[in-house]
Structure 1
Amino acid sequence: MSPLIMGLIIVVAAAVIAGGTALLQQRFSPPQSREGYNEVAGSVFEIVSVLYAIVLAFVLIAVWEDMQDARSITYSESSALVDIFWEAQDLPDEQREEVEALAFEYADRVIEVEWPEMAAHESTGLAGWQIIDTMQSQFDQAIDITDETSLGRAQDAGAAIQELTQARTDRLNMTYGGLSSVMWLVLIAGALLMFGVLLLFGIPGRLAHVIVVVIAASMVALLLFSVYELEYPFARGIAVEPDAYRLALERMTHIR
């Protein structure tokens, strides 16, 4: 289901539940019976809402930045793979062809195998790491360090492989991160507490009370849904796509 449609459904559902709760409350507890709580409820609501807004804003910014970092990491990884492909062009034919084949295999594996595994929060296994290790061994076999030129070639190849390794590590670390259960407890319990305090107000007029409660519930539901969608950069509705690796495949095909 599209994140837009799912978000709309969740917000509407939250608005209906909140509005229905407010109407039931008005039926069994008229606003006049709660007007004496307004001053105390106002002070409590101000404290709860401010603290909750700070926590929610911090979490939303954090998961948004993680999403941007994840997208950047994919391009760093794919760029390092292309650099390795370029470095292989100076190798003897046997090693060059082997490294080229490994580079294509790596990109294909990330797109076709690892991306679905990351979306399902499954382990990607050791195959990707083994491809990197094999590429490193091909460079080690092909480059005989006898002078500064060969030393520079070995260092450049090693740097590219190191960058690929680091970017891959960062990508996999972000795949299985997400918010802790404690943080989700804070976010959900905080929303319920804020909603509960809001119901204590004795607002004259049934429509005005319902509107205030519905607006507050809808906004909180929308923000919580945003956090949920952004929590895992490589999963859910707005996940990062493997576009960087498709671009790397195109570049390597052109280089070859």
Structure 2
Amino acid sequence: MLWLYDLNLWFLGSSVVAVSVALAWTVCITARRLNWLIRSEDQGPAGLMHQFIGVLYAVALALLVVRVQGSYAQVEQAVVNEASAVSNLYRHLDGLEEPGRSRLQKLTRQYLDSVIQVEWPDQRN
């Protein structure tokens, strides 16, 4: 199911709507051709079935929200770990001799600037 994440959002949304409309249209045409009638005694079970489908939809939506929130927490933890690692690296560079220290500190600052100025805006898009 991870291949769904690779699909374009507009394509996925349009496909879901198109399949839903096609299915509803097919059911309506079939019901008309077979002369299905809804009797008053059939409305009780139909209502229960609608409630059951609604509950299933709510549970599926809740599970989706929990999964997205878990993914967000993992990304947040990865960002914290990277920031901590870069901070530790920068602090440990103070123990080096001068020609190498300033060069490595400059490279570390360039890396941070690249992450902040280039990578973060790219992730927002």
TM-score range, shorter chain: 0.5 to 0.7
Picking from 99, 103, 107, the partner of 1:102 is: 107
Following superposition of structure 1 onto structure 2, how do residues 110-189 of structure 1 map, counting pairs within 5 Å?
A: 110-120=115-125
Asked which structure has the greater RCO (Cα within 8 Å, sep 6+), the reply is 1
Q: Which residue of structure 1 lines up, in the alignment, with residue 86 of structure 2?
A: 81
Q: Which residue of structure 2 lines up, in the alignment, with residue 158 of structure 1?
A: none
CA distance in structure 2 between the partners assigned to 1:34 and 1:113 by the alignment: 64
- Report the number of matched residues: 88
1:111-154 deviation line (CA, Å, top 9, x unaligned): 1111111122xxxxxxxxxxxxxxxxxxxxxxxxxxxxxxxxxx
CA distance in structure 1 between the partners assigned to 2:100 and 2:109 by the alignment: 14
1:203-254 deviation line (CA, Å, top 9, x unaligned): xxxxxxxxxxxxxxxxxxxxxxxxxxxxxxxxxxxxxxxxxxxxxxxxxxxx
CA distance in structure 1 between the partners assigned to 2:114 and 2:43 by the alignment: 61
Gaps of 5+ in 2: 1-37
Gaps of 5+ in 1: 1-32, 121-256
Per-residue deviation, 1:39: 1.1
Q: Which residue of structure 2 lines up, in the alignment, with residue 60 of structure 1?
A: 65
Identify, as 1 or 2, the structure richer in helix.
Answer: 2
CA distance in structure 1 between the partners assigned to 2:78 and 2:67 by the alignment: 16
1:80-105 deviation line (CA, Å, top 9, x unaligned): 10101111111121211111111111
Question: TM-score of the superposition, structure 1-length normalised?
Answer: 0.32
Per-residue deviation, 1:72: 2.5
Picking from 80, 92, 98, the partner of 2:97 is: 92
Question: TM-score of the superposition, structure 2-length normalised?
Answer: 0.61
Percent identical pairs in the alignment equals 27
CA distance in structure 2 between the partners assigned to 1:98 and 1:44 by the alignment: 69
What amino acid sits opposite 2:92 in the alignment?
Answer: E
CA distance in structure 2 between the partners assigned to 1:91 and 1:34 by the alignment: 86
Q: Which residue of structure 1 lines up, in the alignment, with residue 48 of structure 2?
A: 43
1:4-62 deviation line (CA, Å, top 9, x unaligned): xxxxxxxxxxxxxxxxxxxxxxxxxxxxx775442121221233122222211111011
Please give the root-mean-square deviation of Cα atoms over the aligned residues, in Å: 1.9
CA distance in structure 2 between the partners assigned to 1:80 and 1:34 by the alignment: 69
Q: State the 4+ residue runs in structure 1 displaced beyond 3 angstroms.
A: 33-37
CA distance in structure 2 between the partners assigned to 1:34 and 1:57 by the alignment: 35
